[in-house]
Structure 1
Amino acid sequence: MNILPRKLKISWLIVHLLLIAYSITVVYPAILVIFNSFKSTQEIFSSPYGLPKSFSFINYVNAWNEANFGVYFKNSVFVTLVSVFLVLLVASLAAYVLARFKFKGSFVIFFVFLLGLMLPIRLAIIPLYILVRDLGLLDTYTGLILVYVASGLSFSIFILYTFFKSIPEEMVEAAKIEGANSFQIYYKIMLPLVRPALSTVAIFNFMSFWNDFFFPYILIKDEALYTVPVGITSFFGEYTTDWSLLFAGLALSIIPVLIVFFVMSKQFIEGLTAGAIK
């Protein structure tokens, strides 16, 4: 009688130990970056794993003002927020139509979107670069934002389509009886019901766009338009590197991701676990 509970306890103990070990491997580098951001370059080399002698914010001030990190940070915030908003808008509209309306070719359109999950957009970087160049969108926010929106649509539509599909048809019929049109049903009924999915899509895309180095490096050559991942590379000198400014910049770049996750963590977890518990 006690064998099964004992095995379950052992299994749960192993799972928790693995999760703790994984958490340490994820959190420790971030803590190390934060501690080193308060040190001078000399102190980083002499004591890379120790606590800083003093918690001075001079490195952050210098990184923000003298190393142009403030410009890179503002560029990333603008590009990322606009891209996430457009992905949520376009993906939610497309998923709503594909999930709730039946018309000729709807499955083909949905399948085309799913192809984006199987074929990474980076494989098409040469024709993509030529397209952006011919449209005159190189070295512009617009070109980078459009590429981000295109890269995020497949995953976002796939997630939102599943949630829209799971909403009972009776709710839609009741809204139609009350006189609501299709857009009102989408805006006032559907979107509030799929809020966990919207949060999941927003967080995944925010992290992807914020941390992306590849597309800004290819499509942006004007340093005034650099985003954080590309801008940080300017901290590396040809012969020397100011590691104190580099770690301060890395610490600053972590803050928006943490803020977004903590603000939307409840909805994010609900989105991931939806359907797992009845």
Structure 2
Amino acid sequence: MRRFVLGVYALLIVVPLVVIVGGSFKTTPELFASPFGLPKSPTLDNYTTVLAKQDMLGVLGNSLFVVSISVPVTLLLGSLVAFAVARLPRWPSRILFAIFAAGLAVPAQAVMIPQYVQFERLGLRNSLTGLILVNIVVTLPVAVFILAGFMRTLPAELYEAAELDGAGPWASYRRIAVPVSYPSLAATAIFLIVMHWNDLLYPLLFIDDPDKRTLPLALLDFQGEYLTEYPLLFTGVVVASLPMVLAYAFLQRHFVAGITAGAVKG
């Protein structure tokens, strides 16, 4: 039974992947004639159109800029809060953790109007800086939730030994908590990269300038009211997915260790 369930799950993953990747090398007539088949006459015209005519490289640069700043800052702030949660006394630790955990329970749609008004007043709407700030705020509870679960499992003796050597809180964080937490930081980084890279809601809300579009927002251009250019859309999806695939390939050896760390109380 388990093999059957895993087989069905594998099909649900592989079939759309084959259709999208194969469709990016097909013309529109060939795609509709044989959506699940391999390309009979593979063409790179779709990639040329997407990269050249749709300014996908500029859009890709915007997404890379947003992610390359949002993820490290979120990791830094999240690890600092998680360290505080792990090292503070019992009740202050619980209160601090509950404040950030509450952020996971608030739907993003519930605060969009106040965010929009506030960003408009601050002059941050329609700017990549504003998009970076909102990404950090929205995903910081996720980072705290994951990292705190790991840092709570670190033996107190590590910090006590550092304190005997004269290390203060900042030195303990920098020399003990961060190096030991590399697997958890890598796993959190993957989650954050995926969340920031695929985010459509906030760019759609805050960005009006075509030169400041991110990848998910640019992919909407291939979908019209009456006609959708599926080969170009599939090509855009492939191009947009490549950085995430590379990021996972680079960090995957830490991924399993990171997501399981902290699952069992030490």
AA aligned opposite 1:145: I
**Retained in 2: the 8 A contact 1:95–1:160?**
yes
Name the residue aligned to 1:82. Answer: 69
Name the residue aligned to 2:14. Answer: 27
Name the residue aligned to 2:191. Answer: 204
Deviation per CA, 1:17-39: give whole Å up to 9, x if none: 31232122022212210101001
Deviation per CA, 1:159-188: give whole Å up to 9, x if none: 111211111111111122223332222112
Name the residue aligned to 1:231. Answer: 218
AA aligned opposite 1:59: N
**Retained in 1: the 8 A contact 2:126–2:208?**
yes
The 1-side partners of 2:82 and 2:262 are apart by 18
1:220 aligns with 2:207: yes
**Retained in 1: the 8 A contact 2:151–2:262?**
no
The 1-side partners of 2:44 and 2:221 are apart by 21
**Retained in 2: the 8 A contact 1:232–1:249?**
yes
**Retained in 2: the 8 A contact 1:37–1:245?**
yes
Q: How many residues align?
A: 265
Root-mean-square deviation (CA, aligned residues, Å) is 2.0
The 2-side partners of 1:16 and 1:187 are apart by 45
**Retained in 2: the 8 A contact 1:67–1:235?**
no
- TM normalised by structure 1 equals 0.89
The 2-side partners of 1:79 and 1:100 are apart by 32
The 2-side partners of 1:68 and 1:215 are apart by 21
1:253 aligns with 2:253: no
Residue identity over aligned pairs, in percent, reads: 35
Shift of 1:125: 0.6
**Retained in 1: the 8 A contact 2:152–2:262?**
no
SS in structure 2 opposite 1:166?
coil
Shift of 1:44: 1.4
1:44 aligns with 2:31: yes
Shift of 1:190: 0.8
Q: Any residues of structure 2 matched to 1:140-155 within 5 Å, and which? A: 140-155=127-142
1:15 aligns with 2:2: yes
The 2-side partners of 1:129 and 1:275 are apart by 37
Quick check: which has more Rg, 1 or 2?
Answer: 1
The 2-side partners of 1:276 and 1:152 are apart by 21
The 1-side partners of 2:86 and 2:152 are apart by 5
Shift of 1:104: 7.9
Shift of 1:237: 4.1
Name the residue aligned to 1:113. Answer: 100
The 1-side partners of 2:192 and 2:117 are apart by 25
Please point out which of 127, 138, 147 is paired with 2:114: 127
The 1-side partners of 2:246 and 2:141 are apart by 25
Q: Any residues of structure 2 matched to 1:155-170 within 5 Å, and which? A: 155-170=142-157
- TM normalised by structure 2 equals 0.92
The 2-side partners of 1:56 and 1:84 are apart by 36
Name the residue aligned to 2:180. Answer: 193
Unaligned runs of 5+ in 2: none
The 1-side partners of 2:205 and 2:253 are apart by 36
1:266 aligns with 2:253: yes
Unaligned runs of 5+ in 1: 1-13
The 2-side partners of 1:27 and 1:137 are apart by 41
**Retained in 2: the 8 A contact 1:76–1:210?**
yes
Change (3 A) 1:88 1:75: same
1:242 aligns with 2:220: no
**Retained in 2: the 8 A contact 1:60–1:248?**
yes
Please point out which of 32, 41, 50 is paired with 1:54: 41
The 2-side partners of 1:164 and 1:135 are apart by 36
AA aligned opposite 1:143: G
Change (3 A) 1:230 1:41: same
